Amino acid sequence: MKHRPKHWAEYLLLRGACGLVAALPYRPALLCAAGLARVGFALAASRRREAIRRIRSVLGDTCTPRQARAIAWQSLRNVAFNLAEVLYVGHGHARELPPPIGMPEALSRVRDFAASHPGRGAVFACPHMGNWELAGIVVPAAGIEMFTLTGVQKNPLVQDYLQRLRHAPGVELLERGSGATLRKIFSNLRKGKFLAIMPDLRSRLPGVRVRFLGGEANLYPGMGHFARQTEVPIFLAIMKRQGWTRHSVELHGPFEPDPTLSKDDDAARLSQIVMDIVDAEIRQDPGQWFWYNKRWILDPLEPEAGAEPASPGPAATNPTAP
């Protein structure tokens, strides 16, 4: 594909800005990210107010406006920290972050599962908590074969650059939206590979309805359907940031399919199991979750979307970033 001048301009601007942050030592890079987040928190008043509204609607009257504002700030700052850390380790430098607490145990469990179930993969769900990007970097680096789904951006130069930053070498990236991708997903899972997926995103089309954060969320059906149709389990990784530089991970599962249920019922059951845990973790430490997604997870389906049929195919699966 021929790249247009606009593509090159956007790409070079992005590379320059990212290069400046990546050139800094670790803590100064986080300090720079926190400063940029503070500016964004002050200027993006409408997004800030919406995040605070969402927080109070979920946590109720026990959460004061001041507490909701503090949670909204922590959520935004953590996203800025995540970006700085991705640049720090993924910008061509041989640098590492402090290993997440609990990561050796989690990786050992995943490797033990892979070793005892040759030719059987799994779905690896990681919601928008803590630095969720670390899962896509640390897990494949531990020798676990992983692949994930990705959307297509208008600027291919920017897309290629961001994908190189966000994923460890060897992670297979599949573009969403084709029958070939769906076949590849099934094939990879049956070959023993792990599908990395983000479960906490609202789908525009009818998908899987689950109880979540005191309401009903319409989620992408891919997680549960892929697990059931290929008879593989789901692992759930909860990432959390402790202070500025320390991370922890909690691994839940494996959650196995139930062949006694119908495919749709089983996919819904698996999705509800995962989201019940995510719900509890958010309520325990709400500043860890990303409250700024453009599509609020509890918004109802648009009327025109409600008339379209649900499908577990790639068009209904979720991307891996907000």
> pLDDT, tens digit, for every residue of 87-104?
887 655 667 777 788 888
pLDDT of res. 102:
87
Reported pTM: 0.85
Between the CA of residue 267 and those of 180, 199, 201, 272, 304, what are the distances in Å? 22, 12, 16, 9, 24
Residue 244 corresponds to which tokens in the numbers above? Answer: 């500025």
> How many other C-beta atoms lie within 10 A of the C-beta of residue 209?
16
What pLDDT score does 170 carry? 64
| C-alpha span between 144 and 188 (Å, rounded) | 13
Q: Is the pLDDT of residue 305 over 60?
A: no
**Which residues of 37-179 form beta strands (DSSP E)?**
122-125, 146-150, 172-175
Query: Which pLDDT does position 98 carry in this prediction?
Result: 79
* pLDDT tens digits, 250-293: 999 899 999 999 999 999 999 999 999 999 999 999 999 999 99
Per-residue model confidence as pLDDT tens digits over 227-238: 999 999 999 999
E strand segments, the chain: 122-125, 146-150, 172-175, 194-197, 208-212, 215-219, 234-242, 246-255
52 touches 69 (CB < 8 A)? yes
Q: Between residues 91 and 242, which one has the greater pLDDT?
A: 242
The confidence band for 306, taking pLDDT boundaries of 50, 70 and 90, is: very low
pLDDT at 307 over 50: no
Rounded Cα gap, residues 56 and 38, in angstroms: 21
Q: Which of these ranges, 33-42, 120-129, 134-143, 158-167, has the smallest mean pLDDT?
A: 158-167
Q: Do the bridges between strand 234-242 and strand 122-125 make them parallel or antiparallel, or are there none, so unpaired?
A: parallel
pLDDT for 192 equals 92
Confirm if 96 and 89 have CB atoms less than 8 A apart.
yes
Residue closest to 134 by CA, chosen among 88, 105, 100, 95: 100
Please state which of the ranges 139-143, 160-164, 304-308 shows the lowest mean pLDDT. Answer: 304-308
Percent of the chain with pLDDT over 90: 54
Q: What is the C-alpha to C-alpha distance for residues 45 and 48, in angstroms, rounded to an integer?
A: 5
